[in-house]
Amino acid sequence: MTDQENLNLIYGIHTCNAQLKLNPGTIKKIYLKKPPVSNNVMKIIKNAENLNVEIVEVEKDFLTTLCFSSKHQGVVFELENKTLSSFDIDLYLQTETNPFIVIFDSIQDPRNLGSCIRSSNAAGVSLIIKRKSNSCEISPLVHKTASGGLQGLSLLETNNLAMVVKKLKSHNIRLIGTADSSDMTIYDVKSCDTGVAVILGSEGEGVSGSLLDLCDDVCRIPIYGSVECLNVAVATGITLYQIKKMIKKTK
């Protein structure tokens, strides 16, 4: 019926509802499990009736094959294709006041990335920048795990994080790196009123040394127990909420 490898898909009740509420104009097609369907799916159908998009009823197994997951809950959205590398970072920096940015360096597990995105949204991040190569893509599983967390956020993929970091610094945005070996903790970071970008690294290697060398501060989450470190998704939430407190509001 379709070549799913070339589609931009999201799935699941919560994720699809968020798309309907916050960005319905990007929905190209809706795939639904053939009746009977749940009340939650019925609500999605009702909310989508005025969108003038094609709604296709298919077998449950087709949905599973389409999104490579059995956790679709009977609904899959096909979205307009969006080139993540086309985001205009220069326009963003010219128009955004006191930005709060997070940079992900080579996160490879889609569930971790989805959880990190969800925490970023909750903490008030306005832009997510991620490495394109040696990193998982923004897949349907990432969307599902993020639970609508990508809605309302700008997103840039690039293989030249160093260039982007230097551009942020040229706009007086403070760069805060994270490393378990740092003497400074996240609670030592000073307040800032010109914007902040936080760099978080991969599950195993952390932030690359070349990026840490460009940072204004490098900090860690203090560990008080016997574990050596935290999962990157947990560390993202703790770090971003603490750094958010350090960003001074401007009029």
Give a yes or no: residue 108 inside a domain.
yes
- Give the list of residues 6+ apart from residue 167 with CB closer than 8 angstroms, or none: 89, 90, 93
Mean pLDDT of the chain: 88
Q: Please name the residue that has the structure tokens 């931009």.
A: 8
Q: Which domain holds residue 109?
A: 84-245
Q: Quick: pLDDT tens for 169-197.
A: 999 999 999 999 999 999 999 988 889 99
If you average pLDDT over residues 75-98, what whole number do you get?
80
Q: d(Cα 13, Cα 25) in Å, to the nearest integer? A: 18
If you average pLDDT over residues 14-21, what whole number do you get?
84
Give a yes or no: residue 251 inside a domain.
no
Q: What is the CATH number of the domain that holds 18?
A: 3.30.1330.30
Domain final residue, candidates 79, 104, 132: 79
For residues 60 and 111, membership in a common domain is answered with no
Which has the higher per-residue pLDDT, 237 or 147?
237
DSSP string, 145-207: HHTTTTTT-EEEEES-HHHHHHHHHHTTPEEEEE-TT-SEEGGGPPPBSS-EEEEEEBTTTBS
For residues 172 and 72, membership in a common domain is answered with no
Count: domains in the chain? 2
For residues 67 and 149, membership in a common domain is answered with no
Domain final residue, candidates 79, 104, 128: 79
Give a yes or no: residue 250 inside a domain.
no
For residues 18 and 52, membership in a common domain is answered with yes
- Give the list of residues 6+ apart from residue 36 with CB closer than 8 angstroms, or none: none
The percentage of residues in the chain with a pLDDT greater than 90, rounded to a whole number, is 49
Residue 83: pLDDT band with limits 50, 70, 90: low
For residues 152 and 212, membership in a common domain is answered with yes
For residues 140 and 192, membership in a common domain is answered with yes
For residues 22 and 123, membership in a common domain is answered with no
Tell whether the model's pLDDT for residue 84 goes beyond 70. Answer: no
If you average pLDDT over residues 190-205, what whole number do you get?
90
For residues 200 and 89, membership in a common domain is answered with yes
Domain final residue, candidates 79, 106, 129: 79
For residues 145 and 217, membership in a common domain is answered with yes
Q: What is the CATH number of the domain that holds 210?
A: 3.40.1280.10
For residues 109 and 178, membership in a common domain is answered with yes
Q: Note the pLDDT of residue 1.
A: 44
Q: Quick: pLDDT tens for 25-69.
A: 888 899 999 888 888 888 888 888 878 888 899 999 998 888 888
Which has the higher per-residue pLDDT, 203 or 213?
213
For residues 59 and 168, membership in a common domain is answered with no
Q: Note the pLDDT of residue 147.
A: 84
Q: Quick: pLDDT tens for 123-182.
A: 999 999 999 888 998 888 898 899 888 887 889 999 999 999 999 999 999 999 999 999
C-alpha pair distances (Å), 122 with each of 85, 111, 202: 24, 17, 21
Q: Note the pLDDT of residue 6.
A: 57
Give a yes or no: residue 172 inside a domain.
yes
Q: Quick one: which H or E segment has residue 225?
A: none
For residues 60 and 164, membership in a common domain is answered with no
